[in-house]
Amino acid sequence: MRIKKENITAILFFAVICGMFVGLLTYKDNDPINDFLTEYRTEVLPGTPILERLSEAIDIADDIVYDQTCFEEQYNTFYGLIQKLLGKHIITDAGYGEIYKTKYNQIIFKVPKKNFRVMRSLDAVEELKSKLDEAGIPFLYVQAPFKLSDDEQQLPANKTDYADYNVNLFLKGLDERGIKYLDLRPLLRDGEKTQNQLFFDTDHHWRIETAFEATGHIMDELNKDYGFTIDSKYKDLKNYNVETLKKCYLGSMGRRTGRFYSGLDDFTLITPKFNTSYTLYEHDYGAEKIYKGSFYKAILDKKYLVKKAPVDLNRYAVYHGDNEELIFNNNLVNNGKVMMIKDSFGVPVYSFLSLGVHEVRALDLRLFKDSVAKYAKENKPDVVILLYNGDTFNEEMFNFVMEP
């Protein structure tokens, strides 16, 4: 029998289908059957009609197949390559709706107008502030910048980002309510670097250098208005080792579009040259881990330091991050207690800040579900800092769970 082109295509087609099926069952941490059963038992309540059960089961199976598709990274990369070949600056994305390539060839999503959420967030902050006032604990809101500014149109012409708009509305509200804030946007933008240089090309997060500079501004503010005496050496880059790994990092946006589309970022690691001694407590879901030693030993997560690690490894998390509660005890500094409620922009900041004070407690409200005011009253920090970027006006991040 003569093999035709259609026969070869069919063989390859079934090979891909079978390969994906086998991959789904065996790839890395995939456990689709168990996940399906767990999800089904959680989502489908007893007594649900049979047709609804079937429909739910199909939806759950569909989601699991999507989530656990093997070679997802390769498919993303291929997808990004096609978009690049088509010259696209707007990419449809299941997670973000759309991802954009800016005029600086950076990858980013845009923030919509959030008037209502901003107002709700202001109310929540005002309530938190009054609770802290009752306990005599000062409060400072720190506004981190978003990657896009309203100074210039970086997105395709018919797309508008409202991060700065929302932030301006929020800060105006804080002014009206007499709540102090530190707006990092003009301070960072006034530097030598342009707006886009402050951020990774392939991620929405600020670069480690930017976070370091931001920490210096926060230290200044704490010294100026909150009675801290943080030594200026902690904000001087000369006192740090600065090591840049070239083209080794694909940020969270880049991971969604692939390296061919987004390019790769350099990643800079900043570590102190001076002596350090820490005890770091990490709390998640009731469990505690303790790390002891120097800044390098106790704080840095070594798996992100492997030079030849895959580019999609989230190196940004090297400074210890995304935990419910972190307590940095700096054994070589005697005074200064900071409590910080933060989003992901706080990840490098609290680590750098902890160099200049005795204690930093960092909470992430996506995981911490207790009362923030109660926590502050129990631990009596010298200041409570709320550090969020311009995209963080959402219910979860401003749910401070106040006690009656």
Tell me the window of 68-76, 135-143, 231-239, 363-371 that interacts with other proteins (CB under 8 A).
68-76
Instruction: Pick the closest to residue 135 from 324, 397, 384, 364 (CA basis).
Output: 384
- Give me the amino acid identity at 27: Y
Report, in Å, the least distance between residue 203 CB and other proteins.
18
Report, in Å, the least distance between residue 96 CB and other proteins.
10
Nearer to other proteins, 52 or 176 (CB): 52
> What three-state secondary structure class fits 38?
helix
Name the strand (E) or helix (H) holding 182: strand 181-183
Burial class (CB in 10 A: 0-12, 13-18, 19+), 214: buried
Tokens of 338: 């900071």
Site for other proteins in 82-101 (CB under 8 A): 82, 85-94
Nearer to other proteins, 120 or 159 (CB): 159
- Of how many residues is the chain composed? 404
Nearer to other proteins, 48 or 241 (CB): 48
Report, in Å, the least distance between residue 314 CB and other proteins.
20
Report, in Å, the least distance between residue 33 CB and other proteins.
21
Nearer to other proteins, 75 or 274 (CB): 75
Size of the site for other proteins (CB under 8 A): 35
Report, in Å, the least distance between residue 354 CB and other proteins.
39
Nearer to other proteins, 16 or 135 (CB): 16
Nearer to other proteins, 9 or 232 (CB): 9
* 75 binds other proteins per the rule CB under 8 A: yes
DSSP string for residues in 107-152 = EE--PPP-HHHHHHHHHHHHHHHHHHHHTT--EEEEEPPPS--TTS
* 28 binds other proteins per the rule CB under 8 A: no
Instruction: Spell out, one character per residue from 254 to 283, where the chain touches other proteins: x when CB under 8 A holds, - when not.
Output: --x---------------------------
Q: Cα 9 vs. chain centroid, distance in angstroms?
A: 43
* 21 binds other proteins per the rule CB under 8 A: no
DSSP string for residues in 190-241 = TSSS-GGGGB-SSSSSBPHHHHHHHHHHHHHHHHHHS-----GGGG-GGGEE
Can you name the residues that pair with 328 across neighbouring β-strands?
280, 360
Q: Are 372 and 341 in contact (CB under 8 A)?
A: yes
Site for other proteins in 116-145 (CB under 8 A): none
Report, in Å, the least distance between residue 156 CB and other proteins.
5
- The residues of the shown chain that bind other proteins, judged by CB under 8 A, are 4-10, 12-14, 16, 20, 66, 69, 72, 75-76, 78-79, 82, 85-94, 156-159, 256
